[in-house]
Amino acid sequence: MNKVLVVGSLNMDFAVYMERRPQAGETVMAQGMKLVPGGKGANQAYALGKLGADTSMIGAVGTDTFGEQMLANLENVGVATDGIKKIAGTETGKAFIEIEKSGQNSISVIAGANAAVDEALVQEQEDKFAQADAVVMQLEIPMPSVVAAAKLAKKHVKTVVLDPAPARKDLPDELWAQVDITKPNETELALLTGLPTNTEEEVVTAAKSLVAKGVKNVLVTLGGDGTMRVSADKVEKFPAYKVKAVDTTAAGDCFLAAFMSRFDGSNYAEAIDFGAKASAIAVTRQGAQTSIPTVQEVESFN
């Protein structure tokens, strides 16, 4: 897609690296911490910009140093940030990430200014929807705003892409009915549908339940087992690339952004492969936006 509009969250990530995450009531020693720009929306916008897509973003930050850093980071890769509002008296969103040696993580999010991304903020920027080819959303901003963004995108006949994370089981049917592409992992798919996803057959059944709600294509990311595409008339599986992961924080965000940077409306195999390569590179690096590869790195990866 040539022009992509991202409607979503911006968080400063407090990433803590450790051998393993603590259990309830336990204290563990960490090896270090990094402060890295993140947030699912900002990660995807940043990756889209870095991978060459004409990208703009709608969101909100606080009037603080973190907010300024978030905006500067996006602008450094060419993302148009005039749709990101600075909310007076509010702090920029924050995410606290515990990352194990294996690369697996747990994330807790404080919404901050992201909670101010209301329907009015979305509606007043309708011109950005009209100018885009595709609109990408996540679930770290208020749900009414996500629905409003999806409806605006459909009004202007744009491709609607939903990254349903953080996953929740009560997403409104009026949202699903607008979605052309959604990208859950198998855990998120189980939460979204209330169905098991322990086998490939169960994944297909759960994905088909979203297709029944109106979703055109469900891309289920399966980690090292690849990606499955499920639509009304097709089930396809695409391989992953084997690497040694050190930090999976931005794996899904990088995959989706890379996919969208190459997607022309029908070339699923090519775009998914590009996303798989980009994500494989990202998980070998620490941090969210700091892990995103360049176009050249992805094209030369094998």
Catalytic residues: 253
**Per the annotation, does 133 bind a ligand?**
no
**Per the annotation, does 265 bind a ligand?**
no
**Per the annotation, does 78 bind a ligand?**
no
* Residue 230: strand, helix, or coil: strand
Task: Give the pairing type, strands 30-38 and 11-18.
Answer: antiparallel
Cis peptide bond upstream of 196, omega within 30: no
**Per the annotation, does 167 bind a ligand?**
no
**Per the annotation, does 275 bind a ligand?**
no
Spatial neighbors of 180 by CB under 8 A, at least 6 apart, are 159, 160, 161, 215, 216, 217
Asked whether 58 and 5 are in contact (CB, 8 A), the reply is yes
**Per the annotation, does 81 bind a ligand?**
no
**Per the annotation, does 114 bind a ligand?**
no
DSSP letter, residue 185: B
**Per the annotation, does 202 bind a ligand?**
no
Asked whether 50 and 290 are in contact (CB, 8 A), the reply is no
**Per the annotation, does 54 bind a ligand?**
no
Asked whether 182 and 218 are in contact (CB, 8 A), the reply is yes
**Per the annotation, does 140 bind a ligand?**
yes
Q: How many CB atoms lie within 10 A of CB 231?
A: 17
**Per the annotation, does 33 bind a ligand?**
no
Between CA 99 and CA 298 the distance in angstroms is: 24
**Per the annotation, does 42 bind a ligand?**
yes
Tell me the CA distances in angstroms from 267 to 11, 251, 258, one per residue in order.
32, 21, 13
**Per the annotation, does 64 bind a ligand?**
no
Between CA 222 and CA 189 the distance in angstroms is: 11
**Per the annotation, does 39 bind a ligand?**
yes
Place of tokens 């994500």: 279
**Per the annotation, does 224 bind a ligand?**
yes
**Per the annotation, does 267 bind a ligand?**
no
Between CA 223 and CA 185 the distance in angstroms is: 8
The two structure tokens encoding residue 217: 């294509």
Asked whether 43 and 36 are in contact (CB, 8 A), the reply is no
**Per the annotation, does 89 bind a ligand?**
no
The count of residues in the chain is 302
Q: Which residues contribute to the annotated binding site?
A: 11-13, 39-43, 140, 185, 221-226, 247, 249, 252-253, 282, 285, 287, 291
Q: Residues at the annotated binding site for K(+)?
A: 247, 249, 282, 285, 287, 291
> Residues comprising the binding site for substrate?
11-13, 39-43, 140, 253
| Residue ranges at the known binding site for ATP | 185, 221-226, 252-253
